[in-house]
Amino acid sequence: MAQESPKNSAAEISVTSNGEVDDSHGFDSTKEGVTEAGAFQAGGQRTQAKSGPVILADEIKNPAMEKLELVRKWSLNTYKCTRQIISEKLGRGSRTVDLELEAQIDILRDNKKKYENILRLAQTLSTQLFQMVHTQRQLGDAFADLSLKSLELHEEFGYNADTQKLLAKNGETLLGAINFFIASVNTLVNKTIEDTLMTVKQYESARIEYDAYRTDLEELNLGPRDANTLPKIEQSQLLFQAHKEKYDKMRNDVSIKLKFLEENKVKVLHNQLVLFHNAIAAYFAGNQKQLEQTLKQFHIKLKTPGMEAPSWLEEQ
């Protein structure tokens, strides 16, 4: 009679419906050569046979990979924008132009240069006037001293001393008005206008990005449409739409800022130009009362006269 073949030990292992090993058949888990409950996946990766969700290794987020992806996206965006700029400069690429908005921006930049020139000239005038006032005050003191020491010319030196001191006083008042004018125009040019121009720069960057991704989408749409290109076209469409929304938002922001800037500029310059004119006219007309009234009208207060430093003004 043929000898019965021995049974394979693995055949003695029964598994329950939940995947656990049933040792009711006397299977000895301590025997050599028996592996732990579990399975090997492709590539030799081992996973524990536990209940609940299993997290695969390739799904774990890697911070280094995330940073690398951000750098890749930034580099790609930079490349596209650089290519768009070069293409525009060479006259090969098209650019989106809002004629009305572009004209307003050009006028703003031109006005800023002109206001900066007025600011420089006004600062020069202030410096020169301060030097003259300082000299007049010293001359008045010298005349006053000689008036006391020269009895035969007491009245003549005295008249000149009073005149120079009065001129110095009126000069300080005018200097205060000019410095107040300078401070206000400086705020308008270097803060208010500059803030608007920063928004303009952001708008121009958004416009370049918009045109860069628009060009990409147009080039893809001109090519074949198959299983390989359709996903690229869809992705390009999404990126184009996102940059279009950003461009539209920045264009609207610039329009609003330009409107408010124009209103604020007219108001500020109107007041400052009236102040400058009235102060200069009253000073050279020798109208001390009108000169002082001008400063009161604009709520300007002088510091203590006779100081060695310029009499800077403070707004109440």
Which CATH number fits the domain that encloses residue 284? 1.20.1270.60
User: Is 189 inside a domain boundary?
Assistant: yes
Q: How many domains does the chain fold into?
A: 1
Residue 206 corresponds to which amino acid? A
pLDDT averaged per 10 residues in sequence order, the chain, 316 residues: 43 41 44 42 46 48 75 75 78 83 96 96 96 95 91 91 93 94 95 95 92 87 83 88 93 95 93 94 90 87 52 35
User: Is 229 inside a domain boundary?
Assistant: yes
User: Is 34 inside a domain boundary?
Assistant: no
Question: Which residues are 14's β-sheet partners?
Answer: 22
Segments forming the whole domain that contains residue 226 = 118-299
pLDDT at 306: 44
User: Is 262 inside a domain boundary?
Assistant: yes
pLDDT at 303: 63
* Closest alpha carbon to 189 in 120, 126, 124: 120
User: Is 92 inside a domain boundary?
Assistant: no
Q: Are the CB atoms for 218 and 167 separated by under 8 Å?
A: no
Burial call 94-111: b when 16+ CB within 10 Å, e when fewer = eeeeeeeeeebbeebeee
pLDDT at 257: 94
SS3 state of residue 174: helix
User: Is 94 inside a domain boundary?
Assistant: no
Token readout for 197 is: 């121009």
pLDDT at 128: 96
pLDDT at 61: 61
User: Is 237 inside a domain boundary?
Assistant: yes
SS3 state of residue 15: strand
User: Is 215 inside a domain boundary?
Assistant: yes
CA distance 223 to 236: 13
For the stretch 48-56, contacts whose Cβ atoms lie closer than 8 Å and that sit 24 or more positions apart, written own/partner, are 49/19, 51/18
